[in-house]
Structure 1
Amino acid sequence: MFLDDLYHALNPIAFALGPLTVRWYGIAYLLGFVCAGVVMYRTARRWKLDLTADDVFSIVIGIVFGVIIGARLFYVIFYGAGYYLSHPLEIVATWDGGMSFHGGLIGAIVGGSIVCHQYHISVPTVCDLGVIGAPLGIFFGRCANFVNGELWGKPTDLAWGVMFETGGNVYRHPSQLYEAVLEGLAIFVALWALSRRRPPRPQGTFMGAFLALYGVFRFLVEFVRVPDAQLGYLLGPVTMGQLLSLPLVIAGVVILVLAHRAQRPQVGYLEGGPSSQA
């Protein structure tokens, strides 16, 4: 089994420099933010927006802090099952794992919006730019989950099943890779293709499409993914991941409808920004 051989050949630690160990999980986050920034900048240029490389860099920094804080807090609150109430010092131990996509999404919007308000940049347009590149970060992150042998799926007899070290003596769905392909590559390709139209589609189009597609894909993959041990199934076969994904689908559809009705063009700086003062 190719994927099983690949998993056992990989080491979660990419390299070590003396006492410092660098894990693929950390590299995945770094690659994700860098790629998202590049995609945001290139798309802004193609849309002929007046955003500079420094603007995009500042926004990405805000997003980085928002993602890390939001993803960790969301995991602690919704997936911690009370564990962190008795171990509060472990809340900051992000190196031990435990990050929530849903919280990271909220954190990214908040962090990016703070920077946008400081620079008088359009928040809806930046959200659209950000979600075009975000799936690449999801792709790298899910690949790192595979390398770490975490978030694996249910038992399977399919040829690509993987026997994870922490998953018992049974071959399982590599659900991390399913998510990497669907939530990462598939959404990126769809949004990137959509972004190449000029003039660009109205504000909200890309955010709405991203939320709807991610929610649907995540909901489907959860059927073959084992839920977090401390939570299990919440309502029959429904998991926390599915419960949190349904609002994303609804929000995505609503945003798409509103975007189609409003037809607001993509813009860079708002009134009072650098370009309006030139």
Structure 2
Amino acid sequence: MQAVLQFPDLDPEIFAISVLGLEFALRWYALAYIAGIVIGWRLVVMLVNHAKLWPENRAPMTAAQVEQLLTWIILGVILGGRLGFVIFYKPGYYLSHPWEIPMLWHGGMAFHGGLLGVMLALIMFTRKHDIPLLSASDALAIAAPQGLLFGRLANFINAELWGRPSDVPWAMVFPGDLAQFCPGWDQVPCARHPSQLYEATLEGLVLGAVILWLVLRRDALKRPGFIAGVFFLGYGIGRIFVEFFRQADFQFVSPDNPMGYAVHWQGAGLTQGQLLSIPLIVLGLAFIATARFRRT
């Protein structure tokens, strides 16, 4: 019998209190959002206070404008992430249950939708305050990996978005897994890749370290749009790679499509996460090329 790791005894709730018969709880997932936003905000404030890092030794925003932008970004993340999940992953269900779209407490957020929401919020904010869009995009790209790191760790604590069945030494049995997507396994439950930790490492730690190195050691902010391009490119590549180990979304899995490909042909295909990441790679390359070859 295969030796596997058991999921650690982690409670998704940090604490819960009851007030006048109503129960309020702080969950790790909510704390991850808060920590990612606060750390990203403070990091950007620190960088805009160092004018020499930016083009012409002038930061694109003031610290006060960064704080104002924070509200726009939070709305973009929440609205875009929720609508992205509704449109990209379960459009049929929410078309027949539209009253459930605002029910965020039931779960269901999509990174690619959240990214589109943030991009739209950033465009609106920079146009309103006459802020250079590319440099503002670089500022947000610096803050994003921290949020991704905490978000993926929260996914792990929640025992959600787990990986495909595996026999690697670090494969893990997740609670609540009915092993319905474990072909060839004769025992329930089965062990899976802890793909949430793969994503936290690649999209959070590695990508964040590369971006900070480029900012602090290579003066990358002097070329507006370059850091944003690195983020788009790095996230797209990392997400496509991890999707090979991540269990596909159940709504795409069927007897004819056991791997859960969103598009497939002759036994091969692309998952929804991979499909949505390809435009990010193209966008990242375009940003990098523009930043490298445009005149100051």
Normalised TM-score (structure 2):
0.84
Which letter does structure 2 place at the counterpart of 1:41?
A: V
Identity over aligned pairs, percent: 40
Instruction: Output the CA distance in 2 between the equivalents of 1:64 and 1:143.
Output: 19
What does 1:85-96 align with in structure 2 at a 5 Å threshold?
85-96=95-106
Q: Contact between 1:203 and 1:263, CA under 8 Å: does it hold in 2?
A: no
Aligned match of 1:270: none
Aligned match of 1:233: 261
Q: Contact between 1:37 and 1:57, CA under 8 Å: does it hold in 2?
A: yes
Instruction: Output the CA distance in 2 between the equivalents of 1:63 and 1:113.
Output: 11
Instruction: Output the CA distance in 2 between the equivalents of 1:33 and 1:250.
Output: 27
Query: How many Å apart are 1:50 and its aligned residue?
Result: 6.2
What does 1:77-156 align with in structure 2 at a 5 Å threshold?
77-156=87-166
Aligned pair in 2 of structure 1 residues 164, 250: CA closer, same or farther (>3 Å)? same
Aligned match of 1:272: none
Q: Contact between 1:71 and 1:102, CA under 8 Å: does it hold in 2?
A: yes
User: Are 2:208 and 1:188 aligned?
Assistant: yes
Aligned match of 1:15: 15
Of 172, 181, 191, the match for 2:192: 172
Aligned residues: 262
Aligned pair in 2 of structure 1 residues 156, 125: CA closer, same or farther (>3 Å)? same
Aligned match of 2:233: 212
Query: How many Å apart are 1:198 and its aligned residue?
Result: 4.0
Aligned match of 1:267: none
User: Are 2:38 and 1:34 aligned?
Assistant: yes
Query: How many Å apart are 1:84 and its aligned residue?
Result: 0.5
Aligned match of 2:49: 45
Aligned pair in 2 of structure 1 residues 129, 61: CA closer, same or farther (>3 Å)? same
Q: Secondary structure at the match of 1:107?
A: helix
User: Are 2:72 and 1:62 aligned?
Assistant: yes
Aligned pair in 2 of structure 1 residues 226, 122: CA closer, same or farther (>3 Å)? same
What does 1:258-277 align with in structure 2 at a 5 Å threshold?
258-264=290-296
Q: Secondary structure at the match of 1:92?
A: coil
More strand by share: 2
Instruction: Output the CA distance in 2 between the equivalents of 1:181 and 1:121.
Output: 32
Aligned match of 1:223: 244
User: Are 2:91 and 1:71 aligned?
Assistant: no
Instruction: Output the CA distance in 1 between the equivalents of 2:293 and 2:49.
Output: 26
Q: CA RMSD in A?
A: 1.8
Aligned pair in 2 of structure 1 residues 246, 198: CA closer, same or farther (>3 Å)? closer
Deviations 1:139-173 (A, max 9, x none): 00000111111110011122211111132301110
Normalised TM-score (structure 1):
0.89
Aligned pair in 2 of structure 1 residues 120, 9: CA closer, same or farther (>3 Å)? same
Instruction: Output the CA distance in 2 between the equivalents of 1:219 and 1:157.
Output: 21
Q: Contact between 2:203 and 2:235, CA under 8 Å: does it hold in 1?
A: yes
| Of 7-16 and 47-56, the range deviating more from structure 2 | 47-56
Query: How many Å apart are 1:85 and its aligned residue?
Result: 0.8
Runs of 4+ in structure 1 deviating by more than 4 angstroms, as ranges, are none
Q: Contact between 1:81 and 1:230, CA under 8 Å: does it hold in 2?
A: no
Q: Secondary structure at the match of 1:176?
A: helix
Aligned match of 2:182: none
Which letter does structure 2 place at the counterpart of 1:230?
A: Q
Q: Secondary structure at the match of 2:174?
A: coil
Query: How many Å apart are 1:106 and its aligned residue?
Result: 1.0
Q: Secondary structure at the match of 1:14?
A: strand
Q: Secondary structure at the match of 2:14?
A: strand
Q: Secondary structure at the match of 1:75?
A: helix
Query: How many Å apart are 1:74 and its aligned residue?
Result: 0.9
Q: Secondary structure at the match of 2:270?
A: coil
Query: How many Å apart are 1:201 and its aligned residue?
Result: 3.1
